[in-house]
Amino acid sequence: AQSVTQLGSHVSVSEGALVLLRCNYSSSVPPYLFWYVQYPNQGLQLLLKYTTGATLVKGINGFEAEFKKSETSFHLTKPSAHMSDAAEYFCAVSYSGTYKYIFGTGTRLKVLA
């Protein structure tokens, strides 16, 4: 079955350090790929997406992700963490081209002062 794996349910980084959140998908057929962020008491917000074209995708708040077909990965990075980045991050894929997403379990990012 198609699935999405996010390594690390909790990740802690120091303020100013690199943020790396991992996402791998299971299918040999490349899907459409998304990262969502959820701040406390808020809905899921789209950070960035890959549908076609350039494999390095830039999103909001300084985040970016690179689609690597050979590794079936779509890891999320940010060069320098900010306290406001503390949130839960969800990787999602769509194989159908619609919003029937398959989500990962989420990674809660903690930023240490």
Partner 1 sequence: EPEVTQTPSHQVTQMGQEVILRCVPISNHLYFYWYRQILGQKVEFLVSFYNNEISEKSEIFDDQFSVERPDGSNFTLKIRSTKLEDSAMYFCASSYRDYLSGELFFGEGSRLTVL
The site for partner 1 (CB under 8 A) is made up of 4, 32, 36, 41-46, 49, 51, 90, 92, 94, 97-106
Q: Between 75 and 101, whose beta carbon lies closer to partner 1?
A: 101
Q: Between 77 and 103, whose beta carbon lies closer to partner 1?
A: 103
- In angstroms, give the least distance from the CB of 101 to partner 1: 6
- In angstroms, give the least distance from the CB of 111 to partner 1: 22
Best CA proximity match to 11, nearest among 63, 82, 89, 72: 89
34 in Cβ contact with 94 (< 8 Å): yes
Q: Between 19 and 89, whose beta carbon lies closer to partner 1?
A: 89
